[in-house]
Structure 1
């Protein structure tokens, strides 16, 4: 008879390792079983993808294997369901094994494990055929949760050398496999390389095997567990009961997780960190919006308007040089922060002028508040570090918000509900965050000095802030900015905005962690040299090599931020933050003048000198490094004060900001996955082999009322059924334009390939191409412009219905520079003449029909024909063609979106050019007709105008 215990008889026992073994066997049976059944029954079907089949592709991906085909789908679902029970048990045993009374990490890891199990069931039982969106949501949630699960298990792993060795190997293999996995997926999806998906599939299967193997290592620790089943009321029958062993397992020695994450987790502390970061997000949202609001006025005045003076709103920290003002601001820091929210309220102002003034006042108060906050916290280094972390994470959060909203920040003054704005929610959260994060500072107004001696020059510290703020704003406030610096067209030879924008965001986070944990290295001249090399590579190189320089620079700038800001906070805020923002403003103007030189006094001096701007930026940061290097290190200061180098409160406070950072980075990865382009685009009328092409000058995506115009542009392009459209005045990747990229939203929403055209470092106002047809090759040109602004052009070759067709998108120089325009006409005419393929020119020519340079663009010199020589009422926009049948031409009014109409032409591939004779619409095939909705009064003030209705040709 089994021995009695006060809480019942032991009726069964089994070793804990069997939980791990059952989980491992069931999981492998699910995947491997489905693979064997699929290869046996549906081999040719499951190796086929959207581009290739057997023999180019000869091994199936995981998703194709476990997908919708019977019976492999059923085999997978059966075994994965059997895996769920052991899986929950495995997570529970791991929590029991690793829990400690003074750490919240085991509970967090266990909750992640449960979440992964539930999301696994989600993507298993909701296939992409059932609901593509939810399948992707569950899948990306599972993959993202794998990161904290793996990291948490490694951190909590008991002191077992064998288990730890295998965990490190499997985890390293898992994350190492992600790099070639992404590479070959892009080779398949973007470059359409035959066989790339097969190689991708091998890495995908490797991930599955390593993921399961990582959890299988728990069998080593669980072997020390014995799971006991007790009969509490004597309900069992028979004599088969076995006694449990009297020996009790010795309690696992508590493992030190790491200083940062040890201690009791406090939700109040975490909420404080979240509020601080959102406060930083609000600051960067207001600062990055100011330039866009200012830009509206010279844009519509076509020159200096006077409103440009509002860029000086950032110099408010100079007021802190007055002791009474400084005392007042610090004592009432919450009020100052709340007053800054006028910048988030500005979307309510109807007139552009009032919106600018409201946004400017918000930036004025916000710069004043943050400078005062840094200064007030200087006496307590851990509190100052927390504020700096919030400031930097606010920039990261702002960039991630723009990553999610196609480079627009949803709480900007140019956004509102009709164009995707989240202004009300953003404002409400900002009020709550500021009420929470501004409850107190280390100083109530008195000038409490920072610990240790104050060394280093305040002026140099201020110059360092100028370079730092300019680098953060100009290069890191949008994840696609530096990617577009290195973009050179098709075929793709470097990063693209999605998904590689997430790499920029990850680099920023890594840089901040480096600055927090290795401040000595962050302020070293060695690291500064690495940052300078990165800046030089970014400025002078293209493709992947140029982007590697961009990543190095992003890491350096974010790492330098804690060092430079904390050093500046030791001195008078007027000498550091006031001077810093003043010089930052000069840098902002300089980096606009490199392209706007034709419109500003003395502009030609800065013409095309982005290299000068980048050099000045790094020299300014170097000034800050020089000042910071003169200051004793934190360890030296602690010795100076006689305090130990150990602060549990500071350590715990830092951990909350790292939790926020981890969440933001996971969010960036999820956004990159969800936004990855499908590349399965089709033209509107393939039956007729029609190409509907348009040209539109979009005036930097700001409409007449200073609202961002992407949504309205999208609607007109979609309703006009454009297969190809050239966009001019489309480069918005500067501080003054908000570091935006309109083409991202249009391309993804309309389902089109996109070529951004010459990048921001090419000093043009921009030209872009959107196409329903694959872009086989594209070359960017800067046409001769000895006097005036640079004239950009794109020469792209499209695969239209199996026939190569060249499309040129071109913006010529200004009316004031006739010699520039003559040289440009000859250059472009030569390009068009040399192509043997059918061609379309979508252009902005600045000439009258049948006069002057028109005869260079049209005729023997170019080989091109005018879409409608009888249309005499043109000056800027022209559509030319050769080698295609032109069937229709229309001019569509702009409404209030921009200052230029949309011109559209219809062409047919593989038919002769035809004549200039007009034909009635009823003699044209339905697929070649223009939409009816724009006749008469049209819709939303868009209508056919000039000749009132479309023209059709025989």
Structure 2
């Protein structure tokens, strides 16, 4: 029995609000004290950044203020250590104040609060100088945990109107400050705008002030608590009292959030069920998005129709569900069908490309059948149907995030192996476990379900809408960088970039899905359809931010309308809606390939360069489905009576969706470009430039080749490289962006151009030197494929140098190639600066169009006139000293060699072809020895005509 206390036993009492005041005061002293001391002692040092100093930048950032300088760092650390005690007390008191019977949310939020406190100590006491990686890990963890802490405190806020008001205000100010904070950081880091970092610093300090102020509001709530110190005998068995439930009963309308999703216990097995469901959806999207890559391998190597393209029809397999016996068999054995589709992930073990294609195609067919049957089977249970739709759509979000984290490649694709960044074994294991759990409680029949007097609308129109929806989600949303590259037009940066703005695209996917689940009836209105259509038009017709805003509007619409369209489709025979829907999706996929591959496919010229037709067809088809849904008895109306239970059923899926957004934000932070790249031999003022046709980053054996391309470029010490056949932002190529991986891993600036909506096979420029300006060109191509070119001005050791990256048209169209040679020669002749052409010309040395590219018309010179064994790749130059030339074997990566030229800035230019021996060349200007025969990994210097020394580079006086 607990002892009975007397008033005389009390030694000390303190109102708990003082815990909040002490925490606030000491935290502000830590930051403001460091700011005062730093400005007093080291003002010009702490306002200096990598681009500018005083007077352009005149206010220090938080990180610069509390960094490594003594004594401001010590001032900050002492006070932040003093803050830890009140901080832990604040978190504990908040838990005691908010804990309720049958609710785990207070404990979860308290855990998040403790985690934030520990990670704050991490980034405080481990600076970026001590250990940059761990400093970033602690900082990212702290920022990520801030969102659930803030939302959780809002959700649990006691019915105190004053506290609720200020909590809302500070939370709004905190999250609102993030937008200008990110904007001005990009202006500083990417655009290098003078003074932008000072403005960023003000927002950064505001973020700190609002963060501390948000927790200071607890002073209003802690008035109900008193901290008491007693002199007692025996052990204390007393239980602390929480806020009385009667307060809530008397003020039921003052609760900050009346969300049923937070009531009751947090059922962790249900979280695991939701996660398993979502991972099952992720597996489907993984094999579907890889099917195009596996198919593409065959026409790529056949240089035309191969016959294997028929596998593009694999997703239309739900047409088999038109047979009642098949439909019943699939539904009753849905777990088996889902498990069989995992063969698509397992197929990385199949080495032969033909058999791997057969395996992936079969898996996609089974996956399409399994999901169509799942939706159809759950049509009588709106809540379960909604969770299945959420699992499938969040699976797309997870797929996009996994590609965002893995630089455009899905880690469980069967075209990746361990050497190429694949997580195949892990993917198979998780897929089997997830499907086994998510299908263990399926209890449905294969019979028909026909509620009385239900108007189900037109199955044909719904199938068109579903096909267009599937196509839009796949072609535009399966990779977060796709639409960003649609609106990219080169340097200076005037719009979004793949990182960090890929996280913005993913966030708007989540917003659309959340709204589509919460207020589905809004997305089946003509107003919403009109907004989505305007977004599609802006994305198609405009560049930069305007085009991207349209992309975000279209993103929200596609994800938001998905639950309504799939729900409507589930009310019909699945063969009619999902089967024909995937068939129409296949038509749009072929249409979307034909617009760029028109030179190689039957009827191609009819749709040449008509992406606008594709977008219009997609939106009209979705509009047809919206029309028929408006004339039906909407399943969402029938569900209105059980909307509370529906929210509870989908709550765990939404929570996981929120967690995925935090993961996406963390990835964006880690991938943010540093823009502090250095060339390999700056002491020599050397620039090594190269050209390589990378064949869409697929090698001879159907494996992605980004890692091996990366290794070759790094070991060859290439400062500037032109990559051709590099546009992989189409369904048939996996919606990838190999240039992003190469640029970020190698530390290079990248210009991807022209974009995927410009109907070329792609060109890209990677540079260790800043790209001052770049322009994308589409050269004259009246008959054949479009010829892309990038014209870029680089800042090379303080000298402006123009670099042209160009891919000429195919051999079968001589007039195209002649016109292109004239166009490019005028471009090169017009520049008054030193210039280099990195190109694919389709001509023999000193014959035909070669004499337009080289000579008086262009003012350009061949890097080595004596090298007769060239047909495609050439390096030309003018007004810059050439010191070396080499051709490097491709290995198994592609079908084209690497060509390299070494140039020196600031020395007299000579166009003679007088060669010198390697011994006469300073070591810093030589090509790496590791590629002398036999070379490394299949890469070695080719034997050039007239060079008796074997495979070796050439050097010039």
When normalised by structure 2's length, the TM-score is: 0.96
Tell me if structure 2 keeps the 8 A contact 1:376–1:447: no
1:507-539 Cα offsets, whole Å, 9 max, x none, are 000000110011110111110000000000000
Matched position secondary structure for 1:613: helix
Note if 1:126 corresponds to 2:126. yes
Matched position secondary structure for 1:768: strand
2:666 to 665, 670, 689: 670
Question: 2: distance between equivalents of 1:419 and 1:235?
Answer: 61
Note if 1:142 corresponds to 2:147. no
Match in the other structure for 1:242: none
Instruction: Tell me by how many angstroms 1:88 deviates.
Output: 1.0
Match in the other structure for 2:494: 493
Match in the other structure for 1:18: 18
Question: 1: distance between equivalents of 2:235 and 2:887?
Answer: 87
Note if 1:940 corresponds to 2:937. yes
Match in the other structure for 1:515: 516
Deviates more, 1:279-288 or 1:259-268: 259-268
Match in the other structure for 2:701: 705
Relative to structure 1, is the Cα distance of residues 431 and 890 closer, same or farther in structure 2, using a 3 angstrom cutoff? same
Note if 1:207 corresponds to 2:217. no
Tell me if structure 2 keeps the 8 A contact 1:8–1:234: no
Question: 1: distance between equivalents of 2:781 and 2:647?
Answer: 58
Note if 1:80 corresponds to 2:104. no
Question: 2: distance between equivalents of 1:186 and 1:452?
Answer: 57
Matched position secondary structure for 2:874: strand
Match in the other structure for 1:831: 827
Match in the other structure for 2:248: 253
Note if 1:769 corresponds to 2:772. no
Relative to structure 1, is the Cα distance of residues 713 and 635 closer, same or farther in structure 2, using a 3 angstrom cutoff? closer
Deviates more, 1:541-550 or 1:217-226: 217-226
Match in the other structure for 1:58: 58
Tell me if structure 2 keeps the 8 A contact 1:225–1:249: no
Relative to structure 1, is the Cα distance of residues 430 and 234 closer, same or farther in structure 2, using a 3 angstrom cutoff? closer
Instruction: Tell me by how many angstroms 1:263 deviates.
Output: 2.2
Instruction: Tell me by how many angstroms 1:452 deviates.
Output: 6.6
Note if 1:420 corresponds to 2:421. yes
Question: 2: distance between equivalents of 1:912 and 1:261?
Answer: 74
Tell me if structure 2 keeps the 8 A contact 1:695–1:726: yes
2:954 to 926, 951, 954: 951
Question: 1: distance between equivalents of 2:798 and 2:707?
Answer: 32
Question: 2: distance between equivalents of 1:831 and 1:480?
Answer: 30
Question: 1: distance between equivalents of 2:628 and 2:790?
Answer: 46
Tell me if structure 2 keeps the 8 A contact 1:856–1:862: yes
Matched position secondary structure for 1:651: helix
Tell me if structure 2 keeps the 8 A contact 1:373–1:441: no
Instruction: Tell me by how many angstroms 1:224 deviates.
Output: 1.7
Note if 1:805 corresponds to 2:805. no
Matched position secondary structure for 1:756: strand
Match in the other structure for 2:679: 683
Instruction: Tell me by how many angstroms 1:7 deviates.
Output: 12
Question: 2: distance between equivalents of 1:168 and 1:834?
Answer: 59
Instruction: Tell me by how many angstroms 1:100 deviates.
Output: 1.6
Deviates more, 1:333-342 or 1:249-258: 249-258
Relative to structure 1, is the Cα distance of residues 629 and 935 closer, same or farther in structure 2, using a 3 angstrom cutoff? same
1:881 to 877, 881, 886: 877
Question: 2: distance between equivalents of 1:8 and 1:856?
Answer: 104
Tell me if structure 2 keeps the 8 A contact 1:377–1:442: no
Match in the other structure for 2:814: 818
Please list, as runs of the form range in 1=range in 2, the aligned pairs for 1:304-319 lying within 5 A after superposition. Answer: 304-319=305-320
Match in the other structure for 2:850: 854
Gaps of 5+ in 1: 237-245, 639-643
Match in the other structure for 1:538: 539
Matched position secondary structure for 2:901: strand
Instruction: Tell me by how many angstroms 1:912 deviates.
Output: 2.6
Question: 1: distance between equivalents of 2:453 and 2:28?
Answer: 60
Match in the other structure for 2:638: 637
Tell me if structure 2 keeps the 8 A contact 1:452–1:637: no
Question: 2: distance between equivalents of 1:591 and 1:835?
Answer: 37
Match in the other structure for 1:241: none
Match in the other structure for 1:243: none
Match in the other structure for 1:641: none
Tell me if structure 2 keeps the 8 A contact 1:918–1:953: yes
1:453-490 Cα offsets, whole Å, 9 max, x none, are 13210111111100000000000000000000000000
Tell me if structure 1 keeps the 8 A contact 2:407–2:740: yes
Instruction: Tell me by how many angstroms 1:109 deviates.
Output: 1.4
Please list, as runs of the form range in 1=range in 2, the aligned pairs for 1:421-500 lying within 5 A after superposition. Answer: 421-449=422-450, 453-500=454-501
Matched position secondary structure for 1:798: strand
Match in the other structure for 1:29: 29
Instruction: Tell me by how many angstroms 1:54 deviates.
Output: 1.1
Tell me if structure 1 keeps the 8 A contact 2:520–2:636: no
Instruction: Tell me by how many angstroms 1:152 deviates.
Output: 1.3
2:926 to 921, 925, 929: 929
Gaps of 5+ in 2: 250-254, 945-950
Instruction: Tell me by how many angstroms 1:262 deviates.
Output: 1.9
Relative to structure 1, is the Cα distance of residues 724 and 449 closer, same or farther in structure 2, using a 3 angstrom cutoff? same
Tell me if structure 2 keeps the 8 A contact 1:156–1:257: no
Match in the other structure for 2:947: none
Question: 2: distance between equivalents of 1:442 and 1:612?
Answer: 44
Match in the other structure for 1:735: 731
Question: 1: distance between equivalents of 2:126 and 2:296?
Answer: 48
Matched position secondary structure for 1:944: coil
Q: Provide the aligned C-alpha RMSD in A.
A: 1.8
Question: 2: distance between equivalents of 1:660 and 1:501?
Answer: 19
Question: 2: distance between equivalents of 1:252 and 1:65?
Answer: 45
Relative to structure 1, is the Cα distance of residues 325 and 21 closer, same or farther in structure 2, using a 3 angstrom cutoff? same
Instruction: Tell me by how many angstroms 1:259 deviates.
Output: 2.0
Matched position secondary structure for 1:913: coil
Question: 2: distance between equivalents of 1:818 and 1:586?
Answer: 32
Note if 1:171 corresponds to 2:171. yes
Tell me if structure 2 keeps the 8 A contact 1:844–1:878: yes
Deviates more, 1:580-589 or 1:444-453: 444-453
Question: 1: distance between equivalents of 2:359 and 2:636?
Answer: 44
When normalised by structure 1's length, the TM-score is: 0.97
Instruction: Tell me by how many angstroms 1:648 deviates.
Output: 5.2
Matched position secondary structure for 2:866: coil
Question: 2: distance between equivalents of 1:635 and 1:841?
Answer: 60
Question: 2: distance between equivalents of 1:7 and 1:458?
Answer: 78
Tell me if structure 2 keeps the 8 A contact 1:593–1:606: yes
Instruction: Tell me by how many angstroms 1:447 deviates.
Output: 2.4
1:826-871 Cα offsets, whole Å, 9 max, x none, are 0000000000000000000000000110000000000000000000
Tell me if structure 2 keeps the 8 A contact 1:327–1:445: yes
1:165-194 Cα offsets, whole Å, 9 max, x none, are 111111111111111111110011001111
Question: 1: distance between equivalents of 2:248 and 2:844?
Answer: 86
Tell me if structure 1 keeps the 8 A contact 2:729–2:736: yes
Instruction: Tell me by how many angstroms 1:252 deviates.
Output: 4.0
Deviates more, 1:386-395 or 1:150-159: 150-159
Match in the other structure for 2:226: 226
Tell me if structure 2 keeps the 8 A contact 1:123–1:136: yes
Question: 2: distance between equivalents of 1:942 and 1:39?
Answer: 55
Match in the other structure for 2:948: none
Note if 1:788 corresponds to 2:784. yes
Instruction: Tell me by how many angstroms 1:652 deviates.
Output: 1.9
Tell me if structure 2 keeps the 8 A contact 1:454–1:570: no
Tell me if structure 2 keeps the 8 A contact 1:262–1:652: no
Instruction: Tell me by how many angstroms 1:26 deviates.
Output: 0.8
Tell me if structure 1 keeps the 8 A contact 2:521–2:636: no
Question: 2: distance between equivalents of 1:917 and 1:247?
Answer: 89
Relative to structure 1, is the Cα distance of residues 317 and 75 closer, same or farther in structure 2, using a 3 angstrom cutoff? same
Instruction: Tell me by how many angstroms 1:651 deviates.
Output: 2.7
Question: 2: distance between equivalents of 1:248 and 1:758?
Answer: 62
Matched position secondary structure for 2:883: strand
Instruction: Tell me by how many angstroms 1:105 deviates.
Output: 2.0
Match in the other structure for 2:304: 303
Tell me if structure 2 keeps the 8 A contact 1:846–1:876: yes
Tell me if structure 1 keeps the 8 A contact 2:123–2:139: yes
